[in-house]
């Protein structure tokens, strides 16, 4: 990552004001020659082992404009994740724990006109950035998300992902591990993520729908680690997640729900793996 390896100058994209392109180019995640159009915000907590491979995957993705990456660690004292993330072209910062808080902190520090929120254990599809550009070229859309998928070939996990994907498309409320992306203006008008310990992604999507903003859920799928399902048991984890979402929809206190969703190997945090 760091400075681009391409020498021909950036050209303004006539379809997306403020966006730069070089045709089919590869940006190593951040460039000094032009401001970033897209900021990828990665909230992390005790992800020292996963963050390096995640950043390497991002660096290999082609993009039609400059992209910046921000890693926000929710453990200001340990900072093991920040140490593992330290490399050229990646901005690192710390915040109090809580996925919503961390993503808000990253968004506040980001320079891009659009924001993509990516979990550390979720891999974007190879064409992710070009698909984001297609969505944001439509002024009627506030943003979008990718389809749900697991980084596993197990048939039962593929079935769970398919069922979850259908549910989220019908409800128009993608989960955070589907790499939700929004125009900065839309995110700011919504006031960012709520300061709640769990379901911050669902709550934001609910407000977005209430405001009449539109999203596009792309057919291209992310690949999310199934580590929690494998550690807790497929049936148990699937039923628990469904019950949590139902109870949240019925108005139960997110702080109480968070106690039913302890993270693997670390202090409590919001969201899903």
Cα separation, 37 vs 145, in Å, equals 17
Q: What is the pLDDT of residue 31?
A: 40
Per-residue pLDDT of the chain (273 residues; tens, 9 = 90+): 333 323 333 344 444 444 443 333 333 444 445 789 999 999 999 999 999 999 999 999 999 999 999 999 998 787 789 999 998 889 999 999 999 999 999 999 999 999 999 999 999 999 999 999 999 999 999 999 999 999 999 999 999 999 988 988 888 889 999 999 999 999 999 999 999 999 999 999 999 999 999 999 999 999 999 998 888 888 899 899 999 999 999 999 999 999 988 765 444 333 343
Cα separation, 157 vs 172, in Å, equals 22
What tokens appear for 202 in the block? 């669902």
What tokens appear for 31 in the block? 């460039």
Q: What is the pLDDT of residue 80?
A: 87
Please check whether residue 118 is in contact with residue 40, taking contact to mean a CB–CB distance below 8 angstroms: yes
DSSP state of 231: H
Cα separation, 221 vs 127, in Å, equals 10
Cβ neighbours of 6 (radius 10 Å): 15
Residues 6+ apart with CB under 8 A from 98: 74, 195, 197, 200, 269, 270
Q: Going along 79-211, which residue ranges are E strands?
A: 90-94, 114-117, 122-123, 143-147, 181-183
Cβ neighbours of 91 (radius 10 Å): 17
Cα separation, 234 vs 240, in Å, equals 10
Q: What is the pLDDT of residue 21?
A: 39
Q: Where are the domains of the chain?
A: 11-258
Q: Name the phi and psi angles at 191, rounded to 5.
A: 80, 15
SS3 (DSSP) at 1: coil
Architecture of domain 11-258: Alpha-Beta Complex (3.90)
Please check whether residue 81 is in contact with residue 48, taking contact to mean a CB–CB distance below 8 angstroms: yes
Q: What is the dihedral sign for C-alpha 97, 177, 228, 225? A: negative
Cα separation, 18 vs 3, in Å, equals 19
């Amino acid at each position: 990552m760091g400075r681009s390896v391409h020498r021909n100058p950036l050209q303004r994209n006539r379809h997306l004001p403020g966006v730069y392109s070089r045709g089919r180019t590869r940006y190593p995640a951040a460039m000094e020659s032009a401001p970033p159009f897209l900021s990828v915000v990665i909230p992390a907590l005790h992800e020292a082992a996963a963050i390096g491979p995640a950043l390497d995957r991002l660096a290999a993705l082609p993009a039609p404009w400059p992209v910046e990456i921000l890693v926000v660690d929710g453990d200001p004292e340990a900072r093991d994740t920040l140490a593992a993330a330290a490399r050229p072209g990646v901005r690192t910062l710390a915040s109090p724990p809580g996925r919503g808080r961390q993503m808000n902190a990253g968004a506040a520090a980001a320079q891009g006109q659009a924001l993509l929120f990516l979990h550390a254990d979720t891999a974007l599809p190879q064409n992710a950035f070009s698909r984001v550009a297609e969505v944001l070229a439509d002024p009627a859309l506030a943003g979008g998300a990718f389809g749900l998928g697991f980084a596993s070939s197990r048939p039962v996990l593929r079935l769970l992902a398919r069922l979850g994907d259908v549910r989220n498309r019908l409800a128009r409320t993608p989960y955070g591990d589907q790499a939700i992306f929004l125009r900065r203006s839309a995110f700011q008008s919504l006031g960012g993520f709520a300061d709640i310990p769990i379901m911050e992604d669902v709550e934001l999507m609910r407000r977005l729908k209430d405001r009449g903003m539109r999203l596009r859920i792309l057919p291209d799928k992310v690949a999310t680690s199934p580590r929690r399902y494998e550690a807790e048991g497929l049936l148990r984890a699937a039923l628990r997640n469904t019950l949590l979402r139902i109870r949240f929809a019925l108005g139960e206190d997110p702080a109480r729900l968070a106690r039913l969703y302890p993270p693997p190997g670390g202090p409590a945090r919001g969201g899903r793996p």
